[in-house]
Structure 1
Amino acid sequence: MKKILVSLVFAAVLPLSAQQKPVYLDESKPIEERVEDALPRLTLKEKIALVHAQSKFSSAGVPRLGIPEFWMTDGPHGVRPEVLWDEWDQAGWTNDSCVAFPALTCLAATWNPEMSLLYGQSIGEEARYRNKTVLLGPGVNIYRTPLNGRNFEYMGEDPYLSAHMVVPYIQGVQQNGVAACVKHFALNNHEVNRHTTNVIVDDRALYEIYLPAFKAAVQEGKAWAIMGSYNLYKGQHCCHNQYLLNDILKGEWGFDGVVISDWGGAHDTDQAITNGLDMEFGSWTNGLSNGASNAYDNYYLAMPYLQRIQEGKVGTKELDDKVRRILRLAFRTTMNTSRPWGAILSPEHYEAARRIGEEGIVLLQNEGGLLPINLDKAKKIAVIGENAIKMMTVGGGSSSLKVQREISPLDGIRQRVGNQVEVVYARGYVGDASGEYNGVVTGQNLKDDRTPDELIAEAVKVAADADYVIFIGGLNKSANQDCEDTDRAGLGLPYGQDDVIQALAKVNRNLIVVNISGNAVAMPWVKEVPAIVQDWYLGSEAGSALAAVLVGDVNPSGKLPFTFPVKLEDNAAYALGEYTGVRSDTVINIKYNESIFVGYRWADKQKKSKPLFAFGHGLSYTTFEYGKPVADAKTMSPDGKLTVKVTVKNTGSREGQEVVQLYIADKKSSLPRPLKELKGFKKIKLTPGESKEVSFVIDKEALSFFDDTKHAWIAEPGKFEAIIAASAADVKGVVPFELK
């Protein structure tokens, strides 16, 4: 009834003539003028109603003024199915399926902003069709540890890559009149104790590593919403954190959108009032549990806030700022009558999911050119592994989806080869036979009571006489794998998969291992396996995208967005001892001792060990030759720019894409700096024999570091190097220059 009332009131006020129309309804007026016209028309209770939830995923509008409700939906990989008004149980709709897009680790692995824009446009259209106001995504928390259960939702370890990939996603979503809500701000870098971890990090690391992607989202992407994180920083929960939300986000960066709490991320009325939170969702106040009904009046920004105002304990200055931001959100979204209608489950969206998946798959190893599979010479392909058949769109936490369809790797391979080649399957191992999350059920029965030895014996028998053996394993979206609110127990593959791979390697040399995960995994068998493919959670078109790469319809061009360490101790967070997987109900301090040395920045410092696979690594079915990079000058003024150029040639026999990477090295500085840092990348497509010149413009920003004593970005005069590379471990050329 409430929705009908909103529609009637809205329809009643819109037909007014231009002379009669209130300014806030006049879309020809600037948004700020409309906001200031609407604000004094609201009663105190109407303002309070705007700043907290009225259901699990909605907050109130103002029916009297024709301002619709605000509807949120989880992302960032697809539009979440509907739940009941007051509960987490499924609403039972039959028309709330979606297209599942690849996980954001895959998007980052494309190193292609055009793919990011396509992703945002496509998922934004689906959210708009479902009449959502805010899409709760994308996520850009930095990959600090490979055990973080939620890394698959983020864009890797490097702030520059994350920043440049998040901006087009936001722009694509918001073209549809749907707000992107970038999350989780900030320092949410592991899941165990996410509600009780107080992060202690120096300002250099904060500004150089953990904030750049959020800053780009605000200042370049113009994001309309930001979600706070569950953890604490400086002893305050990040959903109402003075330093993060008021000082940095709204102060230094000039953010004019809404700050939305993560569900259950608010903890205190006074801090929620003063420390930058605008919209409160999911709070379980006064001892109420997840399933409690009608708790919304007890939210921290509900009756407790209203009572404080009525009793004169607080004023309305902060409330008016929150309401201004929420009105601004309404005028940008639901009250924009020109926004598109959206679309869902369209052929174009499935094509987008497939293209992003194909371009994000990373060819890690290909000894002897085993890949692509030669279908003209193959008679039998053996596919082994649970992940070849297990649905991956269900599970993992809030990003779990209800899909119209999901093509498994096994089905994708069978559909692609048709009757040309026999494809046989063996389970190999049993991981998690369940298939349910939050009431969405896969319908798969994966129960198998055979022993590991029996499963391996079957796999070996099937694989022994095959022309190709494709082992498809890795992680899944179950608890303690790639899953919200849990972290992995270790770096190794679960469910005894190493034993299966090593057994297969002994009976067939043509072994291809496909690792499906959102995280790095240990590979003790790396020297025994000629071909290794890093697959991701690819969504609805998972199988078709993988099959296209395996048989060579698509030349792989993905590059790793994070480092694969050989062992856990090679990761900085573990080398320096600042991570705990032990559950704690009380606040615990986690100090980021590694500071700015995250990912390849740490790996570059290690002289005794090298990564299993470096950041930025990814092979192709063709080969590329780099010329000698040159600069247009040997010196650069503080206000000037320097251009570095390099020619890249496709020296192979087929078309391919290469990601040319630019790193900057500061040869001498007053503060410690990494050996090199990513400051540019370009993805180019080359036909056989074709050459292209790639140029990078270097400015003062690319040379700067954050001086925490001055609280400023500093570029010190001195000697630098522009490093052209194909990965963090594959340097192609160096150009020295000097900043005057």
Structure 2
Amino acid sequence: MAQYQKIPDEIKLLPLKKKLELLYGDGFWKVRGIEDFGLKPFLVADGPHGLRKQVDKGDQLGIMAAFPATCFPTASLLACSFDQDLIFQMGQAIAREALHQHVAVVLGPGVNIKRNPLCGRNFEYFSEDPLLSGKMGAAFIKGVQSRGVGTSLKHYAANNQETNRLTINAVIDARALHEIYLKPFEIAVKEAKPYTIMCSYNRINGTYSSENNWLLNDVLRNKWGYRGLVVTDWGAINDDFLARKSGTDLEMPGIGRRDINLKRGIKKGLLDEDDVNVCVNNIYELHLKVKELEYGNDGHYEEHFSLARKIAAESSVLLKNNGVLPLKSFDNVAILGAFAALPRYQGTGSSKVNPFRLVSFIEALKNENIKANYALGYKSNGDEIDDKFEQEALELAKQKDIIVIFAGLPDAYESEGFDRSKMSLPDSHLSLIEKVVALKKKVIIILAGGSVMELPFADQVDGLLLTYLAGEACGPAVVDVLLGRVNPSGKLPETWPLTYKDVPSGN
């Protein structure tokens, strides 16, 4: 038990069956109410760069349909801004949409360290630097909670890869653990006081996070002074009884009659009612924080589209410019690459947003009555070179003086649930770039993807603009940057090795 906790008598006097029912959710997204105190159930929903409130049955992998919401740039691009005020504004916007959609707690931000560039979920995290990660996470939390909506700081802790994430044992020495992997959480907890913290699936030095008393009580509550609730990642409970004794308050999702097994554990002496009372009190305290929320007001989605555009443009990183940018017009410019019309703008998994209004680069030009000299160049998803598409792109490139190529990582390359197999771009993207460079024209590359990529062509092109995953307003944001309306002020928040062989954790 955390040192600070004193349990009110009214919590202790609740019927045991009711208390046990409170320890797990009502389905995928609902936290049970406490009728004895007049506290109604409330909803939680992903996510870290936009709301993902699901329409019907729930899932944690972004497969089922969700209500439309603003898809902001992902953390990989947000971190490039180094702008806490901008992230605060985004947090406020997400909270407004949460209130509009009757959501009390937003499941984000994620502040895990980018230990390896192949982590499939790197797009959802800020940096390899614990200070930057913690500060940006704190800004997000402050923004959301300034409107009364709760957050869930995740994934606590050391969830740095997707491969075997349910069982992997992260073996980390004390200094590295405290100074690198726990530090972002410590900063966010102390500066922003998130309503909830989500524990990770993995083990840390042999013990699962959900049942790690040292992690959840000794460090989080007793050392850092955390006073909120700990919720599992969806399905992260390993031992029903040890988890509740070790600092996990709420299990999500709630499937079946979990209370029956918990009661059996009490009878066998595997769980004490005192432990249950601690969990219930933390759930009760969360109820008190969100009970006065005023739901149903305007979601301000059009306004938030403009904010998403501003964040995407300002956060973009100009990696190279040999005097080719800004463009005066698109009259003598060839635009190549499927990503120009079918943008890669967010990651896949639990954070996947159903965008309120997605505008590609080609559509953004059309909206401004700018003619696009455009060819597909490659298929939008996959490695395979399409000779027809590539040849059409090359024929167009020969007719223009400047070529803008949209390239990067397709959806199938990175996602929650698996890690990337390589750090390189698809063969189809590399082939197109190589053949266009051979034409000896001025070439600008627009890079989209959630994480670090090998760039063998970097010294052969005139311009490189990195947008990471820029959200639903990615198209107009890139137009703004290319035409010089916005100065791309982003800076790299992580190391970009020349090749994967240069990655220390890759060996």
Task: Provide the residue aligned with 2:457 in structure 1.
Answer: 525
3-state secondary structure, aligned to 1:459: helix
- In the TM superposition, residue 37 of structure 1 has moved relative to its aligned partner by 6.3
- Aligned partners of 2:180, 2:64: CA distance in 1, in Å? 40
3-state secondary structure, aligned to 2:405: strand
- Aligned partners of 2:376, 2:105: CA distance in 1, in Å? 41
Whether the 8 Å CA contact 2:44–2:104 is kept in 1: the answer is yes
Whether the 8 Å CA contact 1:82–1:90 is kept in 2: the answer is no
- In the TM superposition, residue 59 of structure 1 has moved relative to its aligned partner by 2.5
One-letter code of the match for 2:281? R
- Aligned partners of 2:117, 2:270: CA distance in 1, in Å? 47
- Aligned partners of 1:87, 1:457: CA distance in 2, in Å? 42
Matching of residues 558-573 of structure 1 within 5 Å: 558-573=490-505
Matching of residues 204-215 of structure 1 within 5 Å: 204-215=175-186
Whether the 8 Å CA contact 2:211–2:242 is kept in 1: the answer is yes
Correspondence for 1:231 among 190, 202, 211: 202
Task: Provide the residue aligned with 1:408 in structure 2.
Answer: 360
Matching of residues 232-631 of structure 1 within 5 Å: 232-282=203-253, 295-298=255-258, 302-333=259-290, 335-336=291-292, 343-367=298-322, 369-375=323-329, 379-392=331-344, 396-416=348-368, 418-419=369-370, 422-432=371-381, 452-478=386-412, 481-574=413-506, 577=507
Task: Provide the residue aligned with 2:133 in structure 1.
Answer: 162
- In the TM superposition, residue 243 of structure 1 has moved relative to its aligned partner by 2.1
| Distance verdict in 2 for CA 1:414–1:86, change over 3 Å | closer
- Aligned partners of 1:85, 1:453: CA distance in 2, in Å? 42
- In the TM superposition, residue 385 of structure 1 has moved relative to its aligned partner by 1.0
| Distance verdict in 2 for CA 1:536–1:343, change over 3 Å | farther
One-letter code of the match for 1:543? G
- Aligned partners of 1:229, 1:86: CA distance in 2, in Å? 20
One-letter code of the match for 2:402? Y
One-letter code of the match for 1:423? A
3-state secondary structure, aligned to 2:88: helix
Task: Provide the residue aligned with 1:74 in structure 2.
Answer: 46
Q: Is 1:42–2:42 an aligned residue pair?
A: no
| Distance verdict in 2 for CA 1:430–1:545, change over 3 Å | same
- In the TM superposition, residue 345 of structure 1 has moved relative to its aligned partner by 4.4
Whether the 8 Å CA contact 1:106–1:536 is kept in 2: the answer is yes
| Distance verdict in 2 for CA 1:133–1:37, change over 3 Å | farther
Whether the 8 Å CA contact 2:244–2:275 is kept in 1: the answer is yes
Instruction: Show CA shifts across 1:481-517 (max 9, x none).
Output: 2210111111100242111101111225221101101
| Distance verdict in 2 for CA 1:38–1:464, change over 3 Å | farther
TM-score by length of structure 1 reads: 0.65
Q: Is 1:52–2:24 an aligned residue pair?
A: yes
Whether the 8 Å CA contact 1:394–1:402 is kept in 2: the answer is no
One-letter code of the match for 2:149? V
One-letter code of the match for 1:318? D
Whether the 8 Å CA contact 1:124–1:342 is kept in 2: the answer is no
Whether the 8 Å CA contact 2:325–2:482 is kept in 1: the answer is yes
Task: Provide the residue aligned with 2:192 in structure 1.
Answer: 221
- Aligned partners of 1:276, 1:226: CA distance in 2, in Å? 11
- Aligned partners of 1:224, 1:409: CA distance in 2, in Å? 38
- In the TM superposition, residue 330 of structure 1 has moved relative to its aligned partner by 0.8
Whether the 8 Å CA contact 1:109–1:362 is kept in 2: the answer is yes
Instruction: Show CA shifts across 1:549-589 (max 9, x none).
Output: 11100011001111110011211102xx2xxxxxxxxxxxx
One-letter code of the match for 2:362? L
Instruction: Show CA shifts across 1:645-679 (max 9, x none).
Output: xxxxxxxxxxxxxxxxxxxxxxxxxxxxxxxxxxx
- In the TM superposition, residue 537 of structure 1 has moved relative to its aligned partner by 1.5
Instruction: Show CA shifts across 1:374-432 (max 9, x none).
Output: 12xx523211112112254676101111122101122223434x24xx31211111142
One-letter code of the match for 2:147? N
- Aligned partners of 2:344, 2:430: CA distance in 1, in Å? 21
3-state secondary structure, aligned to 2:373: strand
Whether the 8 Å CA contact 2:301–2:356 is kept in 1: the answer is no
Correspondence for 2:76 among 105, 123, 131: 105
Whether the 8 Å CA contact 1:464–1:508 is kept in 2: the answer is no
In terms of Rg, which structure is larger? 1
Q: Is 1:133–2:104 an aligned residue pair?
A: yes
- Aligned partners of 1:451, 1:350: CA distance in 2, in Å? 35
3-state secondary structure, aligned to 2:441: coil
- Aligned partners of 1:135, 1:129: CA distance in 2, in Å? 13
- Aligned partners of 1:172, 1:191: CA distance in 2, in Å? 28
- Aligned partners of 2:10, 2:148: CA distance in 1, in Å? 20
Whether the 8 Å CA contact 2:102–2:295 is kept in 1: the answer is no
Whether the 8 Å CA contact 2:101–2:295 is kept in 1: the answer is no
Matching of residues 669-684 of structure 1 within 5 Å: none
3-state secondary structure, aligned to 1:540: coil
Task: Provide the residue aligned with 1:14 in structure 2.
Answer: none
Matching of residues 76-91 of structure 1 within 5 Å: 76-85=48-57
- Aligned partners of 1:90, 1:506: CA distance in 2, in Å? 42
One-letter code of the match for 2:390? I
Whether the 8 Å CA contact 1:463–1:508 is kept in 2: the answer is no
Whether the 8 Å CA contact 2:197–2:231 is kept in 1: the answer is yes
Whether the 8 Å CA contact 1:491–1:522 is kept in 2: the answer is yes
- Aligned partners of 2:289, 2:33: CA distance in 1, in Å? 14
| Distance verdict in 2 for CA 1:453–1:101, change over 3 Å | same
- In the TM superposition, residue 195 of structure 1 has moved relative to its aligned partner by 1.1
- In the TM superposition, residue 53 of structure 1 has moved relative to its aligned partner by 1.5
One-letter code of the match for 2:448? I
Q: Which moved more, 1:390-399 or 1:56-65?
A: 390-399
**Residue ranges of structure 1 left out of the alignment (5+ in a row):** 1-31, 284-294, 434-447, 578-740
Whether the 8 Å CA contact 2:332–2:402 is kept in 1: the answer is yes
Task: Provide the residue aligned with 1:203 in structure 2.
Answer: 174
Whether the 8 Å CA contact 1:379–1:467 is kept in 2: the answer is no
Whether the 8 Å CA contact 1:391–1:406 is kept in 2: the answer is no
Whether the 8 Å CA contact 1:358–1:554 is kept in 2: the answer is yes
- Aligned partners of 1:125, 1:179: CA distance in 2, in Å? 12
- Aligned partners of 2:64, 2:385: CA distance in 1, in Å? 39
- Aligned partners of 2:134, 2:495: CA distance in 1, in Å? 18
Correspondence for 1:62 among 34, 58, 61: 34
One-letter code of the match for 2:304? H
Alignment coverage as a number of residue pairs: 502
The sequence identity of aligned pairs, in percent, is 33
As a proportion of its length, which structure holds more strand? 1
Matching of residues 720-735 of structure 1 within 5 Å: none
The structure whose RCO (Cα within 8 Å, separation 6+) is larger is 2
